[in-house]
Chain A
């Protein structure tokens, strides 16, 4: 039994699946919207907090605790809880996905700033920079490679988990997985799963590009692979 020839290729090559509200392009836009918005909110929350704690070199315990707690939260359970608490809000997916994305960004930002060589910050101070300037002009650029790795990890997790939006009647690639499972339609399930994997790989590639653009050449050797 070959999953590709039996299920995925017949499904993918069926033009019926490539247009309309249930077609791949429409579902891709939905999936990207859920993932992108959740990631944006996670960055807006985790980045300032991580920078601040890293700069002050205090609060490691809090960061590790929050990150660990965030990673232990069952995403689907949180989704249903938020859905019930918000009286069936169609935005309920945002909270569990943001909660999922915050820990890697927070920890990497904090670790990145904390790991900046003391010679660099001393030199910055010696040049007469204020605390904020040291953070934004010296620590942040040096920590950037590690921060980008954190955002990348978060992005891949969010893209892979945004399928749960389908559980509260929304779209995205999760629609194929939930609907396919409910009707024993494994071609749809396998194709939906493959689309999620491909999207996660695309995100990975995208972040290689982002790193090229944002990180100065001289700093690119730091935190390359991890």
Chain B
């Protein structure tokens, strides 16, 4: 699908440049230039994405919304990991990328940063990014580590936040990827920030099939499930709120190459961020896992929030 898109847009680009060349020839021939060629920089952008479904559907949303307001867009989805695509946007080969503020900060901008709240992470990014780049407004949507329980368990014990676990933690088995046991964004921080000591820790997998099956079977009562995992919806799970910001913010936001965007583009991208929520991402990931195409999922979301 993404490859098709690139081909389609590629062909459109060829058509545009042919038209532009024709226009130039015409302009050169006639002294009265009635056909001003708009410089491509201002209204033509390249939208890129990392190589996983959620990043691609976010890029598709940016791309479709911008095309809807008349911006010429070239799609360069599925580029690779951050290590691969970040240098591309630094030099301007890509203009717009959906990013996660926390991961961007600690992977590519400032690996030693300890900022955890959205505001602190964004401030660190704003001061740390190279001058060619800037981040736009963060959305409420976050894809990050969490403490997740089943909705049934939450209802039975009246739990909505990690802090509420205090009264039951010593009866609970928490299961997660082995590193959760020893790292700060895991058992160490849960004890230090929230004073939680669990009955035991079961090494499972990284927000994968084993953790989800264990939650469902009741073998474990809590797990670190990434907050946009589609099974949160299909398996009736609940991501507990994290009032003390143990897990660093991972808000979805557009990372842009400053010289490639104008006010119209920035306003449109900010309008998207104003509407996007974590629940939206869960729902879109579920639709993708059921085989719906990126463009269908992205179009449906844009229509549902009135941006298309």
Contact = CB atoms under 8 A, between A and B. Distances in A.
Interface of A: 80, 83-84, 87-88, 166-169, 175, 178-179, 182-183
Given A178-B178, A183-B178, A183-B182, A166 B203 contact: yes
Given A88-B217, A169-B214, A179 B209 contact: no
B289 to A, nearest CB: 15
Contacts of A168: 204, 210
A80 B209 contact: yes
A185 B195 CA distance: 27
Nearest to B218: A88
B88 to A, nearest CB: 28
Contacts of A178: 178, 203
B210 A179 contact: no
11 contacts: A80-B209, A80-B210, A87-B216, A88-B216, A169-B175, A169-B203, A169-B219, A178-B203, A182-B178, A183-B178, A183-B179
Nearest to B210: A168
A166 B183 CA distance: 20
B283 to A, nearest CB: 23
A87 B216 CA distance: 8
Size range of the interface on B? 10 to 19
Contacts of A167: 205, 210
B177, B210, B217, B219 interface centre (most CB from chain A within 10 Å): B210
B109 interface: no
Given A80-B210, A83-B210, A88-B219, A182 B204 contact: no
B168 interface: no
A175 B204 CA distance: 11
Nearest to A169: B202
A87 B217 contact: yes
Residue in A87, A168, A179 whose Cβ sees the most chain B Cβ within 10 Å: A168
A168 B177 CA distance: 11
Interface in B175-195: 175, 177-179, 182-183
A83 B209 contact: yes
Contacts of A166: 203
A169 B182 CA distance: 16
Contact of B204 (A84, A87, A169, A183): A169
A169 B204 CA distance: 5
A164 B205 CA distance: 12
Contacts of B213: 83-84, 87-88
Given A88-B217, A166-B203, A169-B203, A182 B210 contact: no
Contacts of B202: 169
A169 B210 contact: yes
Nearest to B173: A169
Contacts of B182: 183
A168 B210 CA distance: 6
A156 to B, nearest CB: 26
Contacts of A182: 177-179, 203
A168 B213 CA distance: 10
Given A83-B213, A87-B213, A183-B179, 13 more contacts: A80-B209, A80-B210, A88-B210, A167-B205, A167-B210, A168-B210, A169-B175, A169-B204, A178-B178, A178-B203, A179-B203, A183-B178, A183-B183
